[in-house]
Structure 1
Amino acid sequence: MFNDAYRNKTVFLTGHTGFKGSWLAYWLRQLGATVVGYSLPAPTVPSHHGLLGPGFPETLANLNDLSILTRAMQAAQPDIVFHMAAQPLVRESYRTPLETLETNILGTARLLEAVRQTPSVRGVVIVTSDKCYENPEDGRPLRETDPMGGFDPYSVSKGAAELITASYRNSFFNLAQYGKTHNVLIASVRAGNVIGGGDWATDRLIPDLIRSTQQDEVGIGTPGNGQSVEIRNPLAVRPWQHVLEPLSGYLLVGQHLMSGEPAAAEGWNFGPDVADVLPVRDVIREAKAAWGAIQCHEHASDANPHEAHLLSLDCTKAHEKLGWKPVWNTQTAIQHTVTWYWHYYELGKIRTAHDLRAYIAQAQAASLPWAV
């Protein structure tokens, strides 16, 4: 897979204890990479990272400590850096706006400063969000050429992280000077609402629904409250996708960077097909079909902080230039996600390896370029 680009390569991965980061770390290790992690401790108990067991070197420290970050990166001497460490929640950004801005904006700048001090690095993939765009909510899917922006502190922090990434690419890792004054290619990647097993964050739809199936101190793992989940924006439309979908895109971009292709050093959207951009209400229906114990009720309120009602991505660029396409539709993604949790709580089993094998097998059957 990925032209064997990651075998025997060292990957410096920030945010490896988080939901997406733990899945990426697992996949990278299956590809033969040496992973070195840098992150705060896992944000929840249990966590996907903790359940898998790290099994690789990690530094548990704050992204905003430049000296520790630089020392850790220089000690690792990585070939490529994946930057996923962030404050990832919109509603949390309303509660802690300064911390969100500090981590997501200046944390990205500090990461790129550490790259400047580490000559071994050949590629950098900065992970932001589909919320980095100035979203007019006019029904048009957002393209990589659309302006950065954001309404809430989280969204604007991701837009600013994109601007900082572009600034460092222009100022210190200019493509016209690639192979002359430097050997680093930097890309940014943007994805929508990601679901999958092993996410226990608060204020996320699927984890909240899963918590409704569990009573206090009952079952294997984190206790739930066994109470019906309040659905605050049932008609909000989002590009739902399984976590493995954007990760395949990130890994594909990283492959092109390490192959020395300046054309890959840009921004990239990774999202589902148009038919899989669905309202929250439809996602809930599919989740309840997969696990009947899920409980929820709708309660829209003006007291809730603002969140975009409509958001979708145009992924034509990734389709045409990288040959990337989604593997699972939203229904399949929800089934795999809910089944992952059912196996965890009811059987005490972790289905991460199973889901990755199933995903790869379907990608190979579809002859996607990264999988064959």
Structure 2
Amino acid sequence: MTKKALITGFTGQVGSQMADFLLEKTDYDVVGMMRWQEPMENIYHLTEQINNKERISVYYADLNDYAAMARMLKDIRPDVIFHLAAQSFPKTSFNIPIETLQTNIIGTANLLENIRQLKENEDYDPVVHVCSSSEVYGRAKPGEALAEDTKFHGASPYSISKIGTDYLGQFYGEAYGIKTYVTRMGTHTGPRRSDVFFESTVAKQIALIEAGLQEPIVKVGNLASVRTFQDARDAVRAYYLLSLESEIGNVPCGEAFNIAGEEAYKLPEVIDVLLSFSTRDDIEVQTDTDRLRPIDADYQMFDNTKIRSFIDWKPEIPTKKMFEDLLNHWRDEIKSGRVPLSR
């Protein structure tokens, strides 16, 4: 029987690329969960398949609606769930902390509690990927390689919400035997990355400048940060491989994994790389105080040792190729008439 995969957060960068991966590399039927009013930019290329019901469909639900989650799980009964939905922008979380905590913690609890009840009452036993974040480590000590046992230190309402998400994934695995595994993905980017994130807003602004839609000034926030980068397309491959190992019992229920790139950049270096791909040589960079956070996670260097002991995986897409693809994504958006907001 063909397996069913449910992706929450289907319309986001990672969710849409997870769908692309499963459709290309597996024979799974894919169900994308989304709220009815979500933007469709990242899944336009899939609409013909969705309309024709060719291995992929959409289910409208909201993490914060417990009854809707129950109905969705009973209707679909997916074999594997990639839980990627979240309020995922750290800076925004300072403005909407309650919504961030509600969606990321209570929304995850709504999903996992419904799975628990189905497991106990109807012998339903899916594999559940709970997407946490490298932001759980928060204000890490410079020079420290962040491993799975590194102490959490929340640096935003978002990171605190992901600490809750992380613990829920571990708890429901350990307490109830649900086949959960938790991932803490480091900084990731590439095509479809939201323009609220640093490297994507820089690339978007460069594309706007090249198109004559913005003066030749790129506005940025805090640049005093160093971190590893990886392409989200590499990360979804790791998500899938971990799901296979979890299904056959090789991943203990509730186990947590770092997934991170292995090429590190200071943020000014990221700007230099993106500017090197530009057709303009007159672009300036200015700090915009509106883009600064009250607290920043300034150091994010990760240890991938653990995940490599469970699956045969490493990042394959070079970061410079990833940054170039990101810039080309914004160029293509603008050429197609989808001019983004200047933010």
Same fold (TM over 0.5): yes
| Inter-partner Cα distance in structure 2 for 1:27 and 1:167 | 29
| Inter-partner Cα distance in structure 2 for 1:43 and 1:284 | 30
Return the letter of the residue paired with 2:145: P
Aligned counterpart, 2:91: 91
1:170-189 mapped onto 2 (5 Å cutoff): 170-173=174-177, 184-189=178-183
Aligned counterpart, 1:332: 321
Whether the aligned pair in 2 keeps the contact of 1:79 and 1:122 (CA below 8 Å) is yes
The verdict on how the C-alpha distance between 1:154 and 1:48 changes in structure 2, with shifts beyond 3 A counting, is same
Match of 1:32 among 6, 16, 27: 27
Post-superposition shift, 1:152? 1.0
Which runs of at least 4 in structure 1 moved beyond 6 Å after TM superposition? none
Return the letter of the residue paired with 1:160: G
Give unmatched runs, 5+ long, in structure 2: 51-55, 338-343
Post-superposition shift, 1:296? 5.0
Return the letter of the residue paired with 1:73: L
The verdict on how the C-alpha distance between 1:213 and 1:145 changes in structure 2, with shifts beyond 3 A counting, is same
Whether the aligned pair in 1 keeps the contact of 2:202 and 2:271 (CA below 8 Å) is no
| Inter-partner Cα distance in structure 1 for 2:209 and 2:218 | 13
The verdict on how the C-alpha distance between 1:301 and 1:191 changes in structure 2, with shifts beyond 3 A counting, is same
Aligned counterpart, 2:340: none
1:147-226 mapped onto 2 (5 Å cutoff): 147-173=151-177, 184-214=178-208, 225=214
For 2:222, what is the secondary structure of its paired residue? Answer: coil
Whether the aligned pair in 2 keeps the contact of 1:253 and 1:264 (CA below 8 Å) is no
Aligned counterpart, 2:265: 278
Give the aligned length: 324
Whether the aligned pair in 2 keeps the contact of 1:131 and 1:155 (CA below 8 Å) is yes
For 2:219, what is the secondary structure of its paired residue? Answer: strand
Aligned counterpart, 1:323: 312
Post-superposition shift, 1:163? 1.2
Between 121-130 and 7-16, the greater mean CA deviation after superposition: 7-16
The verdict on how the C-alpha distance between 1:147 and 1:304 changes in structure 2, with shifts beyond 3 A counting, is closer
Please give the per-residue CA displacement for 1:135-193, whole angstroms capped at 9, x wherever unaligned.
Answer: 432321211112333121001111111112222122212xxxxxxxxxx4110011112
Aligned counterpart, 1:62: 62
Post-superposition shift, 1:114? 1.9
The verdict on how the C-alpha distance between 1:235 and 1:262 changes in structure 2, with shifts beyond 3 A counting, is closer
Post-superposition shift, 1:27? 1.1
Give unmatched runs, 5+ long, in structure 1: 1-6, 174-183, 349-372
Please give the per-residue CA displacement for 1:100-139, whole angstroms capped at 9, x wherever unaligned.
Answer: 0011111111110121234443311101110112543232
1:220-369 mapped onto 2 (5 Å cutoff): 225=214, 228-263=217-252, 265-273=254-262, 276-293=263-280, 295=283, 297-299=285-287, 301=289, 304-346=293-335
For 1:57, what is the secondary structure of its paired residue? Answer: strand
| Inter-partner Cα distance in structure 2 for 1:204 and 1:138 | 20
| Inter-partner Cα distance in structure 2 for 1:47 and 1:190 | 26
For 2:59, what is the secondary structure of its paired residue? Answer: strand
Aligned counterpart, 1:145: 149
The verdict on how the C-alpha distance between 1:305 and 1:87 changes in structure 2, with shifts beyond 3 A counting, is same
Whether the aligned pair in 1 keeps the contact of 2:203 and 2:326 (CA below 8 Å) is no
Whether the aligned pair in 2 keeps the contact of 1:256 and 1:264 (CA below 8 Å) is no
TM-score by length of 1: 0.79
| Inter-partner Cα distance in structure 2 for 1:240 and 1:27 | 20
Whether the aligned pair in 1 keeps the contact of 2:91 and 2:293 (CA below 8 Å) is no
For 1:188, what is the secondary structure of its paired residue? Answer: strand
The verdict on how the C-alpha distance between 1:268 and 1:51 changes in structure 2, with shifts beyond 3 A counting, is same
For 2:227, what is the secondary structure of its paired residue? Answer: strand
Return the letter of the residue paired with 2:301: S
Between 297-306 and 35-44, the greater mean CA deviation after superposition: 297-306
The verdict on how the C-alpha distance between 1:264 and 1:312 changes in structure 2, with shifts beyond 3 A counting, is farther
For 1:121, what is the secondary structure of its paired residue? Answer: coil
| Inter-partner Cα distance in structure 2 for 1:309 and 1:300 | 18
* Identity in percent: 25
| Inter-partner Cα distance in structure 2 for 1:43 and 1:193 | 24
Return the letter of the residue paired with 2:287: H
The verdict on how the C-alpha distance between 1:43 and 1:307 changes in structure 2, with shifts beyond 3 A counting, is farther
- What RMSD over aligned residues (CA atoms) do the two structures have, in Å? 2.7
Whether the aligned pair in 2 keeps the contact of 1:231 and 1:296 (CA below 8 Å) is no
For 2:299, what is the secondary structure of its paired residue? Answer: coil
Post-superposition shift, 1:227? 5.9
Whether the aligned pair in 2 keeps the contact of 1:257 and 1:265 (CA below 8 Å) is no
